[in-house]
Chain A
Amino acid sequence: MGDPTASTTELTGGAVGRRRFLTFLVAAPTLTLATTNLVPEEAAAAEAGLPGLPQPADIMDLGDVLILAGTPTAHLLTLEVTEDGEAHFELPRAEVGQGITTAVAMLVAEELDLPLAKVRVRLADARPELLMNQLTGGSNTIRSVYGPVRRTAAAARARLVAAAGVRWDLAPGRLVTRDGAVVAPDGRTATYGSLTSLAATLPLPGLTAKPKPESEHTLVGTPTSRIDARAMVTGAMRYTLDLDVAGARPTMVRRPPTINGTVRSVNNETEVRAMPGVIDLAVVPTGVAVMAETFGQALDAKDALDVTWNGGTVDSLSDADIRKRLRAAALPFAVPPLLTLHVDAEFDFAFVSHAPLETNCAIADVREDRAEIWAGLKSAIVAKQTIAAAIGLPEDRVTVHVRQSGGSFGRRLFFDGALEAAQISKAMAKPVKLMWSRIDDMRHGRARPATHHKIRATYALGRVLTYEHRVAAVETDLRHGLGEILTATAASLPVAGNLSFAQTVFLTTVKVPYDFGVVTELLNEVPLKMHTASWRSVYSANTRGAEEILVDELAKKMGKDPVAFRRTFLKTDRQRRVLDKVAAEGDWGRAMPAGFAQGVGFHDEYKSCTACLVEIDARDPDEPRVVRAVIAADVGRPINPRGLEAQLLGGLTDAISTTLRAGLHIDRGLPLEGSYSQFHYARQKDSPLDVRIFIMPAGGEPGGAGELGVPAAVGAIANAYARATGIRPRSFPINFDVDFTPFPR
């Protein structure tokens, strides 16, 4: 095996004896491999050719931090080759629609020379031994598993080849693998299934295995359909609430009229217990839980509850107060505006619900001496630890199953649903199937925090001299394991001083891709006790989106075309190629009728970069529609271009929604919006008729892709809107009236 400390172990779990299989548990990584390109000094040297001073995220971004934190456990991956010749891989991440199970299956299939249909990828239960390596976020999955998965599969392949060599008494070097079998020079073949038990038991000291060179990839890098697509189109896909867990009955929670309110008293418990179908009722820290025979009855019963509530944590706060606080919190600029040519702009972004289509939900079965949980969880280990503590069980008595879920966008970094289900199950002493109503999901769920932005750029003689961006944000809750990760990697971080976790995350995710002289971007947070979370990027969607708007305004002041301006100031040719691609394919500058316009945006993050060109129909500025979009992306090494296009399409739709119409109004401690009829996430009629996406050829290691698409599209859409209407947008979403009657609290 390629790794001197590798060991072979059999998988536990009752499978031994029934069938024999091959499983590698590689005990430790080779530090050199895992840290390549990660040491700050080396990276800094590599980036030294950049014009302008590198920013922290140029040297080491949040994805690098996550990889570094996960490195000691990166090889704790379980790959099993079954006797029927399938490869079963356990992925310690959450699939939420981003297509990582497909991409990982492709990596395994490639390395094993096995048809993709023979690879199964399951989501691993929470595995505390993985320490910090079970967090799904920061566009990091492919970046973090690309090497380890390939090395694990390559080791498996080497063992299978060695086993065939022993069986045939031939040197392994003379054997090749093809289509799930080892092939001898004389044409004999042995399927992996027939070799797996021998391969599992052979003593193979000194066996080495290296992943294939990327030039030999035949599957990786080709457009591939999702491995779970058929289950999705036939209704066979089982999401959390589709599971049939013995005894787990439908349960819903009546929640307070303001965020974080608590129950003072339940005034009609007897009546509600007597309602049709009602099984049980319990007061928990978040409200009053009702269990019934069906969700419909649980919903009726929780609505019928008469509860007296204690106040919440932000009862007196509404949007106007929050905006005032944010404005006050934005740090001052360093450069005075006097005597210099400059552009100043301020932007505001509203709260935005994650609103995954599958509402917050979980199944919990808490017993005296053990507990079992099922939920979509992007930080499964922290979830397990927190739940164990909350229900008073040792961690190893709590099993946490990670379920594939119906969307996340950052939402499922938090496990409030799973925790609440466990608390209810404990209180009722029954298994619980918990579902949040849509209204509760929007009002008491998580949201992207509101932000305020001040940007100032100064320029002279065709050059940008200084560029300052001050971001004030309602605090983004990062308490899902990121704090531990940053602490553990503190010594390696490219930032110094007494920064908060949030400031560290900000500086390792946000950077200006342009050579704008002296650049400072600073974050200041306003801690409000609300339910916030990263929303398809931590800070970039707003921060970089606002910057792309300012870039257009700066270009105009300096008398340049937006594309030509960006071309001049981008730092690398790789970035320029992506911009050029959309300008050419999108026919930048073509004549448009009145009320229509093009707009462009660019973004660079997590070792990837993208440009977006849109055309907007804003003849009615209150009902604009993005009618066409062209996107180009360079992600270093695309694993599955079709999946990548899907991610960029999702990012574009998110940008259309949050730039034009979708946001939350906070009114006296609670969002007003309670459904998609009020929170205006895009529908088919808001989606462009023509979208073309170009993935640049592979040329390096995989970069991040999950969050990449949003900021450039935010900029492009806002810029197109400004050019079409003459209105410079400053507050987002642009059209944000309360055009509905809110649901009762």
Chain B
Amino acid sequence: MPTYTFAVNGRTVTVDAPADMPLLWVLRDRLGVTGPKYGCGIDVCKACTSHLDGEAINPCVVAVSEAAGREVTTIEGLADGDVLHPVQEAWLEQDVAQCGYCQPGQIMAAVALLRKTANPTDAEIDAIQNVCRCGTYVRIREAIKRAAAKM
């Protein structure tokens, strides 16, 4: 089996895996990185949203081979030790999470959006596809705006 070396949340890892194995399962089942969640496996729900070299990706449809030599960031790697990322802080201030299951993906999507555009418009926020089955969208929108103001 081929091996792939890449960084996950600042730690270098090497895994033996078929080239086409989705990164989600490498993270969760091989590396024990469980922040990214399964919600559909086909790039629909976005619960798994993480970053590859700082860009939002959905590891359920990204092959492990694509990560080789690159930097993967999951929700676990967003905070700087105990110091939360401003988006995480905004999420706490708005008390966004209900069941919380979608929130790692929501937060990673918001961080990626704010990297692209410092002050996202409502239309840009509307374009976020991440499903929240608990219906926290209104608080997500508020938290993104709050985070934008902080950053």
Contact = CB atoms under 8 A, between A and B. Distances in A.
Given A438-B40, A677-B42, 9 more contacts: A225-B95, A228-B100, A238-B34, A295-B29, A356-B99, A357-B134, A438-B39, A646-B139, A684-B140
A415 B81 CA distance: 38
B8 interface: no
B138 A681 contact: no
Binding site secondary structure of chain B: loop
Given A296-B25, A435-B38, A226 B97 contact: yes
Interface string B22-48: 101110111010111111111011010
21 contacts: A97-B97, A97-B101, A98-B98, A228-B100, A230-B92, A237-B100, A296-B21, A296-B29, A357-B131, A359-B38, A406-B37, A407-B99, A407-B134, A438-B41, A646-B95, A649-B138, A650-B136, A676-B39, A676-B44, A683-B137, A684-B130
Interface in B101-135: 101-104, 107, 122, 125-135
Given A242-B34, A684-B126, A232 B103 contact: yes
B27 to A, nearest CB: 10
Nearest to A225: B95
Residue in A98, A228, A409, A685 whose Cβ sees the most chain B Cβ within 10 Å: A685
B58 interface: no
Contacts of B104: 233, 235
Interface string A241-277: 1101000001000000000000000000000000010
Interface in A357-373: 357-359
A402 interface: no
Contacts of A355: 133
Interface in B57-116: 74-76, 78-79, 84, 88, 91-92, 95-104, 107
A489 interface: no
Given A358-B37, A675-B40, A234 B126 contact: no
Contacts of A238: 34
B54 interface: no
A405 B102 CA distance: 12
Contacts of B99: 96-97, 356-358, 405-408
Contacts of A241: 28, 34, 38
Interface residues of B, number: 60
A297 B25 CA distance: 9
A229 B31 CA distance: 24
Given A675-B44, A683-B129, A653 B135 contact: yes
A357 B99 CA distance: 9
Interface in A88-115: 96-99
Nearest to A686: B137
A688 B97 CA distance: 18
Interface of B: 18, 21-22, 24-26, 28-30, 32, 34-42, 44-45, 47, 74-76, 78-79, 84, 88, 91-92, 95-104, 107, 122, 125-141
Interface of A: 96-99, 225-226, 228-239, 241-242, 244, 250, 276, 293-297, 299, 355-359, 405-409, 435, 437-438, 642, 646, 649-654, 657, 675-677, 681-685, 687-689, 691
Nearest to A657: B135
B88 A234 contact: yes
Nearest to B105: A357
A241 B25 CA distance: 12
5 A-B pairs with the lowest CB-CB distances in the bound complex, closest first: A653-B135, A235-B35, A97-B99, A406-B101, A232-B100
Given A99-B98, A242-B34, A406-B100, A225 B75 contact: no
Given A97-B99, A97-B100, A294-B21, A649 B127 contact: no
A642 B95 contact: yes
Nearest to A442: B40
Contacts of B44: 438, 675-677
A310 to B, nearest CB: 28
Contacts of B141: 684, 687, 689
